[in-house]
């Protein structure tokens, strides 16, 4: 069937209509006419793949990666980077209106990243050789658990790309254990230090031997964590963390801790989250390793950081102690911490995972009633839901007004959107 694409939607697909059904298809642009092969037909909608672009958009460009369209990692390589930012801003505004009933009329300012070579963390799947075949390393194919083998990946930062290239070569040489199934690399491009996780079905020999070989093949590896999945056994070689420089400050980041993946925008993100105007008390919920906690100390008399993940909480404690920062840290869920908190912060920073903030935590936060909230979100849908709750007028808590919306392009070439929203309490 031939479909004219009306708009792009969150998730990487374009939307059109055909004979009363809504059609979703990836790797398209608005106003293109495409021939679509259905892959999933329901009563009211169809999902499909593009068989042919019958009327291409003048914006369409060649993808910089030969695996684009098969590999599931990128969604927008056929769109110029400036246009990607435009479409992401439109998708964000539409999502806020559709899900949150929030008619944001103000600007959505964008903060751009270089479109390639930005990603400081990557996870690769490894498939063993089948009959007459070769082992392969890469990413899952679009909408599948089948492997798309890759040798290079243009969105990776140079040290992470070098790890991928080396692993690809070693697989081809048969040097890596046949039970190796997954490798994850995280690198500080400033110091060229690498944190490496490797998961195997079982250790084929002493893990010390594999660790020695990996360190010899990958000299930038500062710390290595080996996982034997069959017995859920871990072996650590090294300190368990690397230091990642942000604004000249070294942050300890461990093997199982979250950290921003775009090295070009980390400094700018910190600058945007931390306000020029300080105060008495700032609360950093979902604090992670303390990316925002440490600079908040420069603006506020007291800072309280809350993180539930044990690995990240250890790094958070280490970073606070290393900088001798005037900050308290708690390993707790945001909801349980707010339930027992009696203080009235001037500022609350929210940086939740994709699921957003729980409904109960939002109720408690409105009762705590900070003067300002900065909400950093990686999912427009849950952001819209949570903003609707924060801006609603209720008798049992404060109500907030959106002051500013910023879009950080942390993930160029993909549909992912990082949004920073500033809110102030209505008096």
Q: Is 208 a catalytic residue?
A: no
β-bridge pairing 45-55 and 21-26? parallel
Beta bridge partners of 328: 304
CA 337, chain centre distance (Å): 25
Q: Is 418 a catalytic residue?
A: yes
Taking the C-alpha atoms of residue 48 and residue 40, their distance in angstroms, rounded to an integer, is: 7
Taking the C-alpha atoms of residue 117 and residue 281, their distance in angstroms, rounded to an integer, is: 38
Taking the C-alpha atoms of residue 57 and residue 53, their distance in angstroms, rounded to an integer, is: 9
Taking the C-alpha atoms of residue 86 and residue 80, their distance in angstroms, rounded to an integer, is: 10
CA atoms lying within 13 Å on the CB side of residue 250: 11
Nearest to 194 by CA among 301, 122, 133: 122
Taking the C-alpha atoms of residue 266 and residue 261, their distance in angstroms, rounded to an integer, is: 8
Summarize the chain as % helix, strand, coil (round to 5).
25, 35, 40
Taking the C-alpha atoms of residue 363 and residue 338, their distance in angstroms, rounded to an integer, is: 10
Q: Is 396 helix (H, G, I), strand (E, B) or coil?
A: coil
Catalytic-role residue among 222, 307, 335, 418: 418
DSSP designation for 397:
S
Per DSSP, which regions of 132-179 are E strands? 136-140, 147-149
Taking the C-alpha atoms of residue 427 and residue 424, their distance in angstroms, rounded to an integer, is: 9
**Residues contacting 305, CB < 8 A, separation 6+:** 284, 287, 290, 293, 316, 320, 327, 328, 329, 330
Tokens 């969105």, residue located: 155
Taking the C-alpha atoms of residue 369 and residue 340, their distance in angstroms, rounded to an integer, is: 14
Q: For 166, phi and psi rounded to 5 degrees?
A: -65, -45
Q: For 52, phi and psi rounded to 5 degrees?
A: -160, 140
Tokens 């008390």, residue located: 281
The residues carrying an active-site annotation are 378, 418
């Amino acid at each position: 069937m031939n479909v004219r694409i009306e708009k792009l939607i969150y998730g990487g697909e374009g939307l059109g209509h055909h004979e009363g059904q809504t059609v979703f298809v990836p790797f398209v642009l608005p106003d293109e006419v495409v021939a679509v092969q259905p892959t999933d037909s329901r009563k009211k909608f169809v999902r499909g793949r593009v068989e042919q672009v019958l009327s291409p958009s003048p914006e369409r460009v060649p993808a910089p990666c030969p695996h684009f369209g098969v590999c599931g990692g990128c969604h927008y390589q056929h769109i110029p980077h400036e246009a990607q930012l435009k479409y992401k801003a439109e998708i964000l505004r539409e999502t806020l209106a559709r899900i949150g009933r929030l008619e944001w009329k103000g600007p959505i300012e964008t903060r751009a990243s270089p479109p390639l070579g930005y990603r400081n963390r990557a996870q690769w799947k490894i498939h063993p050789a089948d009959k007459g075949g070769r082992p392969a390393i890469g990413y899952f194919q679009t909408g599948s658990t089948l492997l798309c083998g890759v040798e290079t990946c243009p969105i990776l930062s140079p040290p992470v790309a070098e790890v991928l290239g080396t692993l690809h070569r070693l697989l081809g040489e048969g040097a890596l254990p046949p039970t190796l199934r997954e490798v994850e690399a995280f690198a500080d491009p400033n110091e060229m230090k690498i944190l490496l996780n490797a998961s195997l079905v079982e250790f084929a020999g002493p893990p010390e031997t594999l660790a020695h070989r990996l360190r010899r093949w990958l000299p930038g590896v500062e710390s290595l964590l080996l996982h034997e999945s069959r017995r859920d056994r871990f072996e650590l070689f090294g300190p368990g963390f690397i230091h990642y420089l942000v604004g000249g400050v070294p942050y300890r980041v461990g093997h199982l801790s979250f950290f921003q993946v775009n090295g070009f925008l980390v400094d700018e993100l910190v600058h945007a989250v931390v306000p020029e105007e300080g105060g008495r008390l700032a609360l950093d919920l979902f604090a992670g390793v303390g990316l925002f906690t440490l600079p908040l100390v420069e603006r506020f008399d007291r800072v309280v950081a809350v993180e539930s993940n044990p690995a990240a909480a250890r790094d958070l404690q280490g970073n606070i102690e290393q900088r001798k920062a005037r900050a308290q840290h708690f390993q707790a869920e945001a909801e349980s911490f707010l339930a027992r908190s009696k203080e009235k912060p001037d500022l609350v920073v929210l940086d939740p995972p994709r699921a957003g903030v729980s409904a109960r935590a939002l109720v408690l936060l409105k009762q705590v009633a900070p003067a300002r909230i900065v909400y950093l979100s990686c999912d427009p849908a849950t952001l819209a839901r949570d903003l609707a709750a924060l801006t609603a007028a209720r008798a049992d808590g404060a109500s907030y007004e959106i002051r500013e919306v910023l879009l950080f392009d942390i993930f160029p070439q993909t549909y992912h959107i990082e949004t920073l929203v500033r809110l102030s309490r209505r008096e």
